[in-house]
Structure formats: structure tokens, C-alpha cells
Amino acid sequence: MSFPIPTILLSDARQMIERSIAAARALDVLCSIAVVDSSGHLLSFIRQDGAMAGSAELAIDKAFTVHIFNNRTDALNALAQPGAELYGIQHSRGGRAVVFGGGIPIRFEGQTIGAIGVSGGTVAEDITIARAARQPPGNFWERLLPEQSLALSLPRVATSVSMSRS
């Protein structure tokens, strides 16, 4: 049985990046912004002129981290502290896991359909810039109908699935 897996399109990712760039400009922050799709692969990326070179890899890795752990990178930070449940997690995945703010999931009906990673400002600025991307334009959610989404054959694990828009 196949289950439809909603994902974001390149055009959506580009719009998210544009909204993030507007937020970055408002904060006077030069940054890098990465968007991954529901499979965790890089869909769109930009590094603003003058942004730190190191911010490029961090933005991509923040989006990647959100995808593999299905959680905001700032939420992972608290769990990665000494004595906490996931202490040392930042060393997983060859050191690609990032455990400070700026990576957030993009969700539709309770499913993570992508992620955005931002790097270049303070942690608070990166989070603010990333959040700006999630404001859906016009008919964004309508474009994510199951018949337009990627269908994958997955083993059946439940007889019914109830999802709500988040």
C-alpha cells in the first residue's frame, strides 16, 4: 500500500527563503538560509553577500538536523547538555548534527514536510529569521493535496491515520 507523503516544492522553498531574507534585512543580519524537502535533501539555499563563510554549512546542517531528529535545533540544545538525555548527540552523523537554534521544521497536517536552517546572526536572530519563512503564502496548503504529493510505498503500520493541520 502506498501512502501519500506531502512535500514542499522548489517554488515554495524559494518563497520561504525570500520571506527569511526580508526578516534578515529587517534585523540587519547577513545570513545563509537552507531549505530541505520531506526526504531531507537540500531543495534551495542562499548565502547573502557578506554573510560569514561558515554560516553556509551551518544553515544546511541545521535543516538536516531538523529532518533527522524531527525537532527544532534549539529544542535539541536543552537535551544535549551534560547530564541530559541526549548528551553528545551533536557528535552523531559525523558531526553534522547542530544543537543550537536556527533550524525549524515545516509541518503540514502533523507531518514534517521539510525544514529550514538559518545561520549568521545570534541564535535568537537565526530563530526569528527561520520562523519568518513558515508564514504560508496564499494557497500554499492547498498545493499539498495528497494527489499532488510524492507517493511512496511504505509498509503498513497502522490501519488508520488521523492527522490535523499544525
pLDDT in tens, 102-138: 999 998 888 889 999 999 999 999 999 999 997 755 4
- Rounded to the nearest integer, the mean pLDDT of the chain is 83
- Whether residue 6 is predicted with pLDDT greater than 90 in this model: the reply is no
- Whether residue 142 is predicted with pLDDT greater than 70 in this model: the reply is no
Of 73-77, 82-86, 152-156, minimum mean pLDDT range: 152-156
Superfamily of domain 2-153: Haem-degrading domain (3.30.450.150)
d(CA 32, CA 49): 9
Q: Where are the beta strands (DSSP E) in the chain?
A: 2-5, 32-37, 42-47, 103-108, 111-119, 150-153
What value does the mean pLDDT take over residues 54-66? Answer: 97
Please tell me the predicted confidence (pLDDT) of residue 108: 85
Please tell me the predicted confidence (pLDDT) of residue 148: 35
Q: For residues 19 and 131, is the Cβ–Cβ distance under 8 A?
A: no
Q: For residues 54 and 38, is the Cβ–Cβ distance under 8 A?
A: no
d(CA 126, CA 146): 32
Instruction: Check: pTM over 0.75? Answer yes or no.
Output: yes
Q: What 3-state DSSP class applies to 151?
A: strand
Query: Hey, what's the torsion of the CAs at 48, 125, 7, 162, to 10 degrees?
Result: 180
Please tell me the predicted confidence (pLDDT) of residue 4: 72
Identify any residues that bridge with 4 across adjacent strands, giving them in sequence order.
151
Please tell me the predicted confidence (pLDDT) of residue 157: 28
- Whether residue 3 is predicted with pLDDT greater than 80 in this model: the reply is no
Please tell me the predicted confidence (pLDDT) of residue 146: 40
**153 falls in which pLDDT band (50, 70, 90)?**
very low
- Whether residue 144 is predicted with pLDDT greater than 90 in this model: the reply is no
